[in-house]
Amino acid sequence: MEKISYAEKDNFDEILELWNMCFSDFPDFTKWYFKNIYSERNTLIYIKNGTICSMLQELRAEFDNAGLATYIYGACTHPLYRKRGYMARLIEQSFKNDLNAGIGQSILIPENEGLFEFYGKFGYIPTSPQRKEIFMKKVFSGKKESEKYVLKKADTSDVENINTLYRKFSKSADFIIRSNKYWNTQIDMFNELGGECFCMYDKENLILAAYAFVWKENVLRVQEICFVSDEAKSELCAKILNRESNMDCLEILYYDNSAKNSACIKFHNKVQKQNDYIINLMFN
């Protein structure tokens, strides 16, 4: 016997076990996610003979122009049940759920490049181009930091300014609308899991010149950065690197419509141009 349904409370232990099996590299994030984000109502599961073989999360997002979207997240299949088409059936069911709810598109961020081809079979097209840049500490060594800007760790008081800069930086594409709750959740997640969010203000006019969400891994890795100018971008990178005495390298990712695509989008009822959408910083 097999069926597809949303999860129930009785499924929690099995869902958590499958998640840990498939995403074992991030135990701290798993604890945070299941405490703060997880919901049975968003968890679509494939059950066969009483066993959850495959599952995915349906998280809600909204674009500035394109409207509501489902962000498919945490898609995984038990190793013993892979290559049987179970995930394909879940994805197709998610599309039906979108149409029933009046949701126009489905989005996701593939874990690796090879998955772009897999998701392409379901009608997803690549989008959200991101440019990667590497900043080495030695480039900034000996250079005096600009006194034009001041750096601080982000908190609730910065959220409105962060959102204003995000919208301004992203205005050339259709971007995902982010509420104050969204921003506060992201800041809390980074702080709780060992990352940081930095804001850099122009001292003269008190305008936010740049912000960055940073993970501390083998190198400092910036998951998202927005800035008012290349000068502000470089100065923020220099200040972050100079704070971290044991880090020699800062890797940043940011939207650039001439760069490599990092996400996928499927339109249920219409055809849109590629490379017009920004999909980032959603627990990816």
- The model's pLDDT over 110-152, given as tens digits with 9 standing for 90+, comes to 988 889 999 999 999 999 999 999 999 888 776 677 789 999 9
Using CA atoms, how far apart are residues 27 and 29, in angstroms rounded to an integer? 5
Strands (E), the chain: 2-6, 43-48, 51-63, 67-77, 105-108, 125-136, 149-153, 174-175, 196-202, 208-216, 220-227, 249-255, 260-267, 277-278
- Residues 79-84 have a mean pLDDT of 95
Q: What is the mean pLDDT of the chain?
A: 93
Q: Does residue 148 lie in a domain region?
A: yes
* Token code pair at residue 43: 């968890």
Q: Within this chain, do residues 141 and 250 fall inside the same structural domain, yes or no?
A: yes
Q: Within this chain, do residues 103 and 136 fall inside the same structural domain, yes or no?
A: no
Residue 87's domain comprises: 2-108
Q: Does residue 121 lie in a domain region?
A: no
Q: What is the pLDDT of residue 271?
A: 64
Q: Does residue 266 lie in a domain region?
A: no
* Whether the predicted pLDDT of 275 surpasses 70: no
Local confidence band at 244 (pLDDT 50, 70, 90 cut-offs): confident
Strand, helix or coil for residue 230: helix
Q: What is the pLDDT of residue 214?
A: 97
Burial class (CB in 10 A: 0-12, 13-18, 19+), 228: middle
Using CA atoms, how far apart are residues 54 and 44, in angstroms rounded to an integer? 9
Q: Within this chain, do residues 134 and 242 fall inside the same structural domain, yes or no?
A: yes
Q: Within this chain, do residues 80 and 138 fall inside the same structural domain, yes or no?
A: no
Q: Within this chain, do residues 160 and 59 fall inside the same structural domain, yes or no?
A: no
Angle between helices 180-192 and 27-36 (to 10 degrees): 150
Q: What is the CATH number of the domain that holds 245?
A: 3.40.630.30
- Convert 36-62 into a string of H (helix), E (strand) and C (coil): HCCCHHHEEEEEECCEEEEEEEEEEEE
Count of the separate structural domains present in the chain: 2
Model pTM score: 0.93
Q: Within this chain, do residues 96 and 146 fall inside the same structural domain, yes or no?
A: no
- Residue 201 contacts residue 150 (beta carbons within 8 Å): yes
Q: Does residue 34 lie in a domain region?
A: yes
CA R_g for the chain = 20
- Residue 135 contacts residue 237 (beta carbons within 8 Å): yes
Q: What is the pLDDT of residue 193?
A: 96
B/e letters for 195-213, b = 16+ CB within 10 Å, e = fewer, are bbbbbbbeeeeeebbbbbb
Q: Does residue 118 lie in a domain region?
A: no
Cα angle, residue 186 at apex, residues 75 and 159 outer, rounded to 5° = 145
Q: Within this chain, do residues 103 and 155 fall inside the same structural domain, yes or no?
A: no
Which residue has better confidence, 245 or 62?
Answer: 62
Q: What is the pLDDT of residue 1?
A: 84
